[in-house]
Structure 1
Amino acid sequence: MTAAPDDFELIRTEVRRLCDKFGNEYWRELEPSGYPEEFVAELTAHGWLGSLIPEQYGGGGLSLAGASVIVEEISASGGNPSACHAQMYVMGTLLRHGSEEQKQRYLPLVADGRKRLQAFGVTEPTAGSETTAIQTRAVRDGDSWSINGQKIWTSRALYSDLMILLARTAPADEGDNRTDGLSVFLIELRDDNGELVPGLTINPIPTMMNHNTTEVFFDDVVVPGDALVGTEGQGFRHILDGMNAERILIAAECIGDGRFFLERASEYAKGREVFGRPIGMNQGVAFPLARAYANLEAADLMRWKAANLFDAGEPCGAEANMAKLLASEASWEAGNAALNTHGGFGFAVEYDIERKFRETRLYQVAPVNNNLVLAFVAQKCLGLPKSY
């Protein structure tokens, strides 16, 4: 059955009620790098962060479409779902490729908040978007694995107990199968005392938006043999489920950002008077907002198409990427229109436009650059020669 936006009104209502307890002042006070511990704890207590975990493991058993509504409403309220969204999108890899023993061991702990699964270790300094070029190695040593290497832009690693890690377990194939030899691991980042495991170092990276991102170093980090998720050497294919889910959820966040901008800007344009009339009467103010609204609505249609394909178990790589592309550009357009509508007040911290403006700009670059999305669409949808 195809899920429609109006199927999730109860979720919207309940999530917004929770978000209203944490006003925009809460998010301002966390700038530039504070972590919203209270907000994340509240989401966990109400089951929203365990929403994608099946009911038999203590979760809510929600569809990805439903989960996308959660992050959309957080964004639309003026909050920042980046503090917790990974706990949703990494589930695609674990749920579809993890062993039953792994699910039984970890999912109930994640569902009730005893373990936090917020870290997704893929990107590396020398590889960037070229995932097949990663150099972090996992070498089998008897009944365990020894991991050495570095990850970067690994958001929330300092606030996570578990990590989904992509590492090379065999040399790269120089031919068409460069993805072979990559494997996925579900690793524990902390010991029983809450300290980082031996050999693991995590350093924060200050950025223009509050995203709690880090660089992670592995120096002979030992993990058990059963930390391997799925089939050895097939890890790149396994993480695609997580990546498609990530793109769809990011698209939903951008839709929420766009709603925030347009709601704030419209109210301001109706109330702000210059030369004896509301500025919203001026087409120079109204038309950019109307155009942004139209583009946001169009992007939202692709978000729902991608989410429904994902939930049906159908291929959705093109749709997930296009949803992220269109939504990130639409939210940025809405942010620009809102900033122009507010004029100088748009740069004032108390109006929250500048904060959300910085937050939504990220998504044209991450989790995948929009130019890479265009290269993917050109090759996979239009049959054009591969760019790189």
Structure 2
Amino acid sequence: MEGHVSTSPAVTVELGEDYPELRDAVRRVCAKYPSAYWRDLDARSAYPTDFVRDLTDGGFLGALIPEEYGGTGLPLRAAAVILETINASGCTASPAHAQMYIMGTLLRHGSEEQKRKYLPGIADGSIRLQAFGVTEPTTGSDTTRLKTRAEKRGNSTYVVTGQKVWTSRALHSDMMLLLARTTPIDQVQKKTDGLSVFLVDLKREQAAGRLQIRPIDAMINHNTTEIFMDEMEVPAENLIGEEGKGFRYILDGMNAERVLVASECVGDGRWLLERGIAYAKDRRVFDRAIGQNQAVAFPLARAWGELEAADMMCRRAAALFSAGQDCGADANMAKLLASEATWHAAEAAMQTHGGFAFAREYDIERKWREVRLYQIAPISTNMVLAYVAQQVLGLPRSY
């Protein structure tokens, strides 16, 4: 399926294809991991190592890495299709999705030497870059106020002390992308200055006792952790780009992240909707299918419409990103609309299944728990609305 959309009188972009062959290939991998596999992982708070390895071996997680660095060099729309299809198949993309987009900061802002050193290993899975150290316990969304400090000692080393939280998959990563302050906030003209991005060797720093990773017992099996750094050493050669410009580098990658996560939302919503529709057709109460009742049918119908609209916004944001156009508003709105659409699909599936929705064997409660996260992370609904109000509508800044 191909098409185009005019975003303004002067800008027209192709929406891109649907990649049916790519979808089929992803489905074949997902077919090896039925619902029982995911229920077992959920019960043990375990990581889907085999599933992630199969995705890596198939080249799916290296989709956005150019061929010259060992990847498949596909556009953002193709990567979105991969993640959407994983979730629409009943599997869970989140344990692997960061391998796709975290490397974007390295790809766009790293040196040629850094790219050749790390990107081929990320593409083939020999280097696992799944951890993203940004959020802190006391700052949350106010990233510029983060307290993790990186001080340069001599010419060869930065010494880092601080704490990160909600750093998913750190226990299943070799490297972490870390945002730290290199210049105190009271010594910069703009609070967004003085932040720098580093690649951290997690295994080395753990072995040296300078870094601790502690799992967080959470509502969903997201393999999330908190990280403590005490005089952690990072080689100066692991600084990405210029010192002090890290905030801009991180923002540069967030649009891609939001498009990809929004596509995951759409995939989850479609899986939940499919389950809800099937149950509404089969379940009979008072001598008729419950789907004949408008109270059951209408929420499912509304969820379908919302998911279709969210999917179109995801496509437009991905098209603008690939065309090098400003896609901030579209990426944020794609995330907002998709997170709400999949939540409405989850609610409809829960209500349609009634009491059986709480039985783990139906998998509805597991997905219901998982999709609630989307309205909070990787950016909350309120932060999206604040962005649109200020940047799109021109209203006064609210924070």
TM-score (norm 1): 0.97
Q: Match of 1:72, SS?
A: helix
**2:163 partner amino acid:** Q
Asked whether 1:309 is paired with 2:320, we answer: yes
Q: Using the aligned pairs only, state the percent identity.
A: 62
Letter in 2 for 1:386: R
Give 1:231 shift: 1.3
The yes-or-no answer on 1:50 pairing with 2:51 is: no
Amino acid at match of 1:290: A
* Aligned counterpart for 2:181 among listed residues 161, 168, 193: 168
Query: 1:231 is matched with which residue?
Result: 242
1:375 corresponds in structure 2 to: 386
Q: In the TM superposition, what are the counterparts of 1:243-262 in structure 2 within 5 Å?
A: 243-262=254-273
Is 1:333 the equivalent of 2:334?
Answer: no
Can you give the 5+ residue segments of structure 1 that lack an aligned partner in the other structure? none
Match of 2:4 in 1: none
Q: Does 1:141 align with 2:153?
A: yes
Q: Is residue 27 of structure 1 aligned with residue 38 of structure 2?
A: yes
Does the residue aligned with 1:186 lie in a helix, a strand or coil? strand
CA distance in 2, matches of 1:21, 1:349: 20
Normalising by the residue count of structure 2, what TM-score does the alignment of the two structures yield? 0.94
Q: 1:102 aligns with which of 101, 114, 120?
A: 114
What is the deviation of 1:62?
1.2
**Superimposed CA distance per residue, residues 155-193 of structure 1 (whole angstroms, 9 cap, x where no aligned partner):** 0000000111100000115887210000111121113xx
Q: CA offsets per residue over residues 278-334 of structure 1, 9 Å max, x none?
A: 111111111110001101111111111111111122221111111111100000000
Superimposed CA distance per residue, residues 112-137 of structure 1 (whole angstroms, 9 cap, x where no aligned partner): 11110000110000100100010101
- Taking the aligned partners of 2:74 and 2:37, their CA distance within structure 1 comes to 28
Correspondence for 1:275 among 266, 286, 290: 286
Whether 1:242 aligns to 2:256 is no
Residue from 194, 210, 215 that aligns with 2:221:
210
Counterpart for residue 66 of structure 1: 78
Q: CA deviation at 1:82?
A: 1.0
Aligned position for 1:112? 124
- Is the contact made by 2:211 and 2:232 (CA closer than 8 Å) also made in structure 1? yes
Q: How many residues align?
A: 385
How much has 1:92 moved relative to structure 2? 2.0
Q: Which amino acid aligns with 1:189?
A: L
CA deviations on 1:66-91 (whole Å, 9 max, x unpaired) are 10111111111111111011111112
After TM superposition, give the deviation of residue 240 of structure 1 in Å: 1.1
In structure 2, what is the Cα distance between the partners aligned to 1:252 and 1:287? Answer: 24
> Is residue 189 of structure 1 aligned with residue 199 of structure 2?
no
- Pick one of 357, 361, 367 that aligns with 1:356: 367
Q: What is the distance in 2 between the residues matched to 1:318 and 1:185?
A: 28
Give the SS at the match of 1:164: strand
Deviations 1:25-69 (A, max 9, x none): 100000141100110111111111111111001111111111011
**Contact 2:90–2:268 (8 Å) recurs in 1:** yes
Contact kept? 2:16, 2:319, Cα under 8 Å: no
**Shift of the alpha carbon at 1:195?**
5.7
Give 1:146's aligned amino acid. Answer: V
- The letter of the residue matching 1:137 is R
Q: Which amino acid aligns with 2:353?
A: H
1:152 aligns with 2:183: no
